[in-house]
Amino acid sequence: MNKSPSNSTAEITPGYDTKREYPHGDLAVWAFIYAELLVFSVFFVSFAFARMLNPEVFVSGQLTLNPWLGMTNTILLLTSGWLAAAAVLANASGKQSSALKNLWVAILFGVGFLFVKGYEIGHHFAAGYDLDTDSFHFLYLFMGSFHFLHVVLGVGVLVILAVKVKRGDYGPDESQGLESGAAYWHMVDIVWMILFPLVYLMR
């Protein structure tokens, strides 16, 4: 087994595959992740551009949002992401039960995000705003819903991973699927980390 001194992960977790040149996880999933990031980036740039062209609409629109709900969701997703990463490392050291626990809590926090976000979007529609109200509300609702659906997909992926960990499908040498799923979940997290300050906070 290769042990490169500069790779601290390898030192902490014997068995973590340092021989691989490619990113860990299935390359198909990485291609998909990049495609997703591309789509979200285009929306983020469009948001910034539209905001530049129409500042009043965006300032007044932002006031209709609740940044505390957004903060709650940020904490939920970040924690969930950290737990998913911990699960991958646990699996790499052969600690399957630890990996499983981490995954279940990650799922719990993901579902928590869905409840908070679902409430927030439902409340927004109920307050009378819709996709065609103006460009701020469209972008907020569409990006928010689009991201929401990705969180749904991500939670589904985590559930599948948890079931497979329980079944013993993964181990230190068989971690491709686990790493791929976790990478997807991290992507969902990163998108939120840009979406939240861009839409909720920046003035």
Which residues contact other proteins by CB under 8 A? Answer: 17, 20, 22, 26-29, 31-32, 35, 38-39, 42-43, 46, 130-132, 135, 138-139, 142, 146, 149, 153, 173-177, 180
Shortest Cβ 56–other proteins spacing (Å): 18
Q: Whole-number minimum distance, CB 170 to other proteins, in Å? A: 11
Q: Which is nearer to other proteins, 39 or 71 (CB)?
A: 39
Nearer to other proteins, 30 or 104 (CB): 30
The HSE-up count of residue 34 (CA atoms within 13 Å, CB side) is 6
3-state secondary structure 78-113: HHHHHHHHHHHHHHHCCCHHHHHHHHHHHHHHHHHH
Which two structure tokens, joined as six digits, stand for 40? 């979200």
CB-nearer residue toward other proteins: 70 or 177: 177
Nearest approach in angstroms of CB 68 to other proteins is 28
Nearer Cβ to other proteins (47/192): 47
Cross-strand pairs, 171 = 174
Beta bridge partners of 174: 171
Q: Residue 18 forms beta bridges with which residues?
A: none
Q: How far is the CB of 180 from other proteins (least distance, A)?
A: 7
For 104-145, the DSSP string reads: HHHHHHHHHHHHHHHHHHHHHHHTT--TTS-HHHHHHHHHHH
Residue listed under structure tokens 């997807």: 184
Q: Which is nearer to other proteins, 41 or 60 (CB)?
A: 41
Task: Report yes or no: 194 and 143 within 8 Å, Cβ to Cβ.
Answer: no
Q: Is the Cβ of residue 40 or residue 109 nearer to other proteins in the bound state?
A: 40
The nearest distance, CB 175 to other proteins, in angstroms, is: 7
* Radius of gyration in angstroms for the set of CA atoms belonging to the chain, rounded to a whole number: 19
CB of 156 to other proteins, least distance (A): 9
